[in-house]
């Protein structure tokens, strides 16, 4: 099982935006964490598509969160980057081969599919239990302003 590498960057990026005193241009966001601008642009677009960040135009333009950091969960960011498809995908092999069950015995998901889905629900619930505001506490806004040349 593997999550997209962009998840780490996107979460750190949302934390930065939650602590910034004004929108942050995407080139600056890339420099803050030493990632490539192309890499970053792709993930910022995914965050924007998911409605988590918005680009402000103009001289002081840049990216900002669209809502309170306390209203954005880790799960929101993970799903924006990695998608919300289940990790386990049942192909109904119980209906194939010599041991195949008739369709009328397959109206509810099989026990295996249910166990896999329940585990993913636990994972999602856990990620939904922490917000960007919870994570933001570790980043000092004064230090961020200084690094951004706004000190």
Which range of residues in 41-49, 52-60, 62-70, 95-103 is near its own copies by CB under 8 A? 95-103
- Please name which of 75, 9, 79, 72 lies closest in space to residue 42, comparing C-alpha atoms: 9
The least CB distance from residue 22 to its own copies, in Å, is 16
The radius of gyration computed from the CA coordinates of the chain, to the nearest angstrom, equals 20
Residue 63 exposed, middle or buried by CB count within 10 Å (0-12, 13-18, 19+)? buried
Which range of residues in 46-54, 56-64, 112-120 is near its own copies by CB under 8 A? 112-120
Q: Is residue 5 close enough to count as binding its own copies by CB under 8 A?
A: yes
Q: Is residue 98 close enough to count as binding its own copies by CB under 8 A?
A: yes
What is the token pair recorded at 51? 């409605």
When CB distances are held under 5 to 8 angstroms depending on the partner's kind, the choice from its own copies, ligand FES, none that residue 89 binds is its own copies
Which x/- pattern over 87-106 shows residues binding ligand FES (rule: CB under 6 A)? ---x-xxx------------
Phi, psi angles (nearest 5°) of residue 111:
-55, -40
């Amino acid at each position: 099982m593997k999550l997209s590498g962009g998840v780490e960057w996107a979460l750190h990026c949302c934390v930065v935006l939650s602590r910034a005193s004004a929108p942050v241009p995407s080139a600056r966001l890339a420099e803050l964490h030493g990632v490539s601008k192309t890499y970053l642009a792709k993930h910022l677009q995914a965050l924007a598509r998911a409605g988590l960040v918005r680009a402000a135009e103009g001289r002081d333009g840049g990216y900002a969160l669209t809502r309170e950091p306390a209203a954005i969960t880790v799960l929101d960011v993970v799903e924006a980057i990695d998608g919300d498809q289940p990790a386990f995908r049942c192909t109904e092999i119980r209906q194939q081969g010599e041991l195949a069950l008739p369709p009328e015995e397959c109206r509810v998901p099989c026990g295996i599919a249910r166990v896999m889905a329940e585990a993913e629900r636990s994972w999602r619930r856990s990620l939904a239990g922490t917000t960007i505001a919870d994570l933001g506490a570790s980043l000092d806004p004064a230090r961020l302003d200084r690094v951004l040349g706004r000190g």
